[in-house]
Chain A
């Protein structure tokens, strides 16, 4: 993350936050986390609001050190799903187990394993940064010197030590966002739930947040990350669940999901000259499946565009066609979403 006002260009290294298991004793030293330990298991999650089914039979698992992304447009059911996982909402069906313990609104012990970072800035504007951290730390069982030490440690990590005594209403958006995430890390959770943490964040801060989440995952923390940004899901997540209209349409690694729509790349050339002949020449190349001339350019569907592109450009150019620009569109999660739902991710 990057401090905007007081710490220009300062990189905030949230990976310095040692994610470690915590049970009932907030002061207990962190214990090693087995890499393949199942942290979250949810199945059959269903939530109805009146006649409307907001979430329908959703289920997935997250292991320690794994980052799982819930990718879907606004209103797809992402927040409702994590609200049930965090015990904020009662569910109409299904089960949530965090480290084997069932979660419901009254499950106090099981909730202690979860660090929740809501989409909106959930901090008190009339309290200082230090007071915000101390308050939430107190709710998670931290007391006295360990609490003070943890607050100071996190303030240092997020670059707000100098502003610890200032009310957060005076903070910039980036500073508030960093504090918002730090609160979720106070008690060293084993499962970190981030609900669209980069919404409304400037590109610099956004990049820092993504880097921090990656670092936390590498440290062994299980992370559930919801987003409607395809780029974030591709960058962060080991596995992605594509959710739309309350249902998980597909789940897997990026490679597995992209494989659902094939591995053909789309190449778009802007060119001048005899485009019809050039398209015909292109079709003769191995790996070119389609080549269509249009006004001002040629559209191609090819296998492995990066490898094919030099030969393709050479063949087309020799026919007297001058190429102005090249755009390669590889299949991505956006294409997967389009394939699965028939609509764009940001519709």
Chain B
């Protein structure tokens, strides 16, 4: 262990003198996080404009307009304007005055009361995918809840097909209101997605560039092989594993310092909200281990330090894109969201999202912690298994 510490200390001393480590591990991610935060509106200021045409005027439509869409207004997420006709709604859309138009057809309430198929049309403008997604999920949630209520009403009246449709009385409308209100608030996830844009890009850049910090340890072994010092290390009275361990320790320290500095700097300079330190700490540790493992694996597959650095950059950027570090996965198609879970970035960012909530607990980020550790252990184990061919003097 002493030999590994000696090697790690020497490697870190070299990295401190090598300004590229500081550049890639701290300066660039901090700069990019700041740039993204300034260029992209922060989540807390996201605001959508919707128009709604209630062609029905019935009690269920009123519930949708007043309570479901009204909740968006109350939380400050959107303004909802009622218009007299579908034509007026389309004009507002054409003028770019609204993100989406919600069109409630005539007979909507009766259709629900009788169990007949009906639809609410949502027409959006391409420039506002997030605005469309929000209203779609809100109205969709309402629709599914109304279906449940309808079933309950029908069951209570002992209604059978072919019988008279049950009336939708005031009690049913109240039940719809009671159920749908909390759904709107909890499922919209507006706060988690957008209220912490600074946090998101701070975390995204931190995890992406973490791979550039952790590569310095294992790539250092390839550099030693090229320069001939690896032969000298192998000739010394130390175990070969100490060389790998020393390089890994150096990576660990570099990664940890990089992440810690970025967490503190983005909090102080960009207003990022990472969450409780007691939860951020294990998350950062897990992310560093994941990046260490993957960097180790990449390096053991490469023959030269240039090759390793190139491959590592490709892996880091590819994983960052797939993992939603460039564009939030919430805005990606479902398939890509699933694919993203194959990257440590997605799990890390998911945990950061979770920690932005008001009452986050360790259990909320445990899946992310386990996933990140799994990435590190699996990739690192393969890398270590390959270290016999890796630790060969030139």
Interface residues of A (CB under 8 A from B): 83, 86-89, 105-106, 108-112, 114, 116, 118-127, 131, 135-136, 138-141, 183
Q: Is B121 an interface residue (CB 8 A)?
A: no
Which of B3, B14, B234, B236 has most chain A Cβ within 10 Å? B236
A114-B235, A121-B227, A131-B13 given; name 20 further pairs at CB < 8 Å.
Answer: A86-B234, A86-B235, A88-B231, A108-B238, A109-B237, A111-B235, A116-B231, A118-B231, A119-B228, A120-B228, A122-B232, A123-B229, A124-B10, A124-B229, A127-B14, A131-B10, A135-B6, A138-B6, A139-B7, A139-B233
CB distance from A9 to the nearest CB of B (A): 29
Pick the contact of A88: B7, B227, B234 (CB < 8 A).
B234
CA distance A108 to B235 in the complex (A): 9
Q: Is B154 an interface residue (CB 8 A)?
A: no
Q: A122-B227, A122-B232 are in contact. Are A105 and B10 (CB under 8 A)?
A: no
B227–A120 touching, CB < 8 Å: yes
A112–B237 touching, CB < 8 Å: yes
Question: What 1/0 mask marks residues of chain B from 280 to 312 whose CB sits below 8 Å from any chain A CB?
Answer: 000000000000000000000000000000000
Within 8 Å CB of A119, what residues of B? 228
B232–A118 touching, CB < 8 Å: yes
B234–A135 touching, CB < 8 Å: no
CA distance A95 to B34 in the complex (A): 62
CB distance from A129 to the nearest CB of B (A): 14
CB-CB nearest in chain B for A86: B235
Interface residues of B (CB under 8 A from A): 3, 6-7, 10, 13-14, 17-18, 227-229, 231-240, 392-393
A87–B6 touching, CB < 8 Å: no
Q: A126-B14, A127-B13, A139-B3 are in contact. Are A183 and B232 (CB under 8 A)?
A: yes
Within 8 Å CB of B17, what residues of A? 126
CB-CB nearest in chain B for A115: B235
Pick the contact of A139: B13, B14, B236 (CB < 8 A).
B236
B231–A122 touching, CB < 8 Å: yes
Chain B interface, >50% SS class = helix
Q: A124-B14, A126-B14, A127-B14 are in contact. Are A140 and B228 (CB under 8 A)?
A: no
B236–A136 touching, CB < 8 Å: yes
Q: A120-B227, A122-B228, A135-B6 are in contact. Are A87 and B235 (CB under 8 A)?
A: yes
22 A/B residue pairs, CB under 8 Å, sorted by A: A86-B235, A88-B231, A88-B235, A89-B392, A108-B239, A116-B231, A118-B228, A121-B228, A122-B227, A122-B229, A122-B231, A122-B232, A124-B229, A125-B227, A127-B14, A131-B10, A131-B13, A135-B6, A138-B3, A139-B7, A139-B238, A183-B232
Within 8 Å CB of A139, what residues of B? 3, 6-7, 233, 236-238
CA distance A65 to B197 in the complex (A): 72
CA distance A215 to B5 in the complex (A): 36
Report the 6 A-B pairs with minimum CB-CB distance, sorted nearest first: A120-B228, A116-B235, A112-B237, A122-B228, A139-B236, A111-B237
A136–B234 touching, CB < 8 Å: no
CB distance from B6 to the nearest CB of A (A): 5
Pick the contact of A106: B18, B240, B392 (CB < 8 A).
B240
CA distance A183 to B228 in the complex (A): 13
CA distance A131 to B16 in the complex (A): 14
Within 8 Å CB of A140, what residues of B? 236-237
A105–B227 touching, CB < 8 Å: no
CA distance A106 to B240 in the complex (A): 7
CA distance A126 to B11 in the complex (A): 10
Within 8 Å CB of A89, what residues of B? 392-393
Q: A108-B238, A108-B239 are in contact. Are A136 and B393 (CB under 8 A)?
A: no
CA distance A111 to B239 in the complex (A): 10
CB-CB nearest in chain B for A105: B240
